[in-house]
């Protein structure tokens, strides 16, 4: 069934944040920061992959994401839904099912044998493709997936994610410069607000998180190891 109604963007953001906190997909730790693949340290970490193990929350968020994309982009705006390897694949499948559209997925790089393909599934020239992923930080990985989609002759002007960091000012302009509109359910600011409302973390941790979200470079300077 295609979801055609949903709460306001603000309420969806609050509820999404609440669900992420409920399943402990949100991790705050200012004393022992997380280390990203880039080598940068951060007091925040989000694990959206965990959502696939919680059917009620998973279904609600996929209803939200589908309704939001349809509301913002149009009800007949897409011909294909593509997931980014690997985290985007299950969410793309769930959104495609709701939109009654074909589903494909995009590899991070050619697999190196056989057809050496980056696109798995049937994607054809002229199709309008929605790229679905679990989250985006600065938008960089989205560009690689979009280029692979466009190389088939299909178009890709929209990407939808559950979670958008919302702390890197270059993300939206960078995607926009490549003709891509970002749709998302919530950001770190929504999670921080809901964590405060619920008292999920202590005041010291929340203050450290707010400092990081406001100025990641300043936080890293103050917390050099």
Q: pLDDT digit string (tens) for 23-40? A: 999 999 888 888 876 677
When mean pLDDT is compared across 50-59, 107-116, 146-155, the lowest value belongs to 107-116
CATH 3.40.50.2020 fits 9-222, yes or no: yes
* pLDDT given for residue 95 in this prediction: 98
pLDDT digits (tens, 9 = 90+) for 153-194: 999 999 999 999 999 889 999 999 999 999 999 999 999 999
pLDDT digits (tens, 9 = 90+) for 124-156: 999 999 999 999 988 888 999 999 999 999 999
Q: What are phi and psi of 35, to 5 degrees?
A: -110, 120
Domain boundary assignment for the chain:
9-222
- pLDDT exceeds 80 at position 62: yes
- pLDDT exceeds 70 at position 51: yes
pLDDT digits (tens, 9 = 90+) for 68-107: 999 999 999 999 999 999 999 999 999 999 999 999 999 9
* pLDDT given for residue 221 in this prediction: 84
* CB contact set of 56 (below 8 Å; sequence gap of 6+): none
The CA distances from residue 217 to 19, 209, 211, 214, in Å, are 29, 13, 10, 9
What is the C-alpha to C-alpha distance for residues 36 and 212, in angstroms, rounded to an integer?
15
Nearest to 42, CA basis, from 141, 132, 138: 138
* pLDDT given for residue 37 in this prediction: 63
What is this structure's pTM?
Answer: 0.93
Four-residue CA torsion sign, 83, 58, 166, 212? negative
* pLDDT given for residue 195 in this prediction: 96
């Amino acid at each position: 069934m295609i979801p055609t109604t949903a709460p306001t963007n603000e309420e969806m953001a609050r509820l999404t944040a609440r669900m992420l906190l409920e399943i402990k997909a949100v991790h705050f730790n200012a004393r022992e920061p997380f280390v990203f693949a880039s080598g940068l340290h951060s007091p925040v970490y989000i694990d959206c992959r965990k959502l696939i193990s919680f059917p009620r929350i998973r279904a609600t968020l996929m209803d939200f994401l589908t309704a939001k994309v349809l509301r913002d982009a149009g009800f007949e705006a897409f011909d294909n839904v593509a997931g980014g390897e690997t985290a985007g694949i299950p969410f793309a499948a769930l959104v495609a099912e709701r939109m009654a559209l074909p589903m494909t997925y995009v590899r991070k790089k050619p697999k190196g044998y056989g057809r050496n393909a980056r696109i798995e599934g049937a994607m054809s020239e002229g199709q309008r493709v929605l790229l679905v992923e679990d989250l985006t930080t600065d938008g960089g990985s989205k560009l690689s997936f979009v280029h692979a989609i466009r190389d088939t002759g299909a178009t890709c002007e929209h990407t939808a994610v559950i979670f958008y960091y919302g702390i890197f000012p270059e993300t939206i302009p960078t995607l926009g410069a490549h003709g891509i509109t970002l749709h998302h359910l919530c950001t770190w600011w929504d999670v921080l607000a809901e964590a405060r409302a619920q008292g999920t973390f202590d005041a010291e941790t929340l203050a450290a998180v707010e400092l990081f979200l406001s100025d990641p470079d300043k936080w890293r300077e103050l917390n050099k190891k």
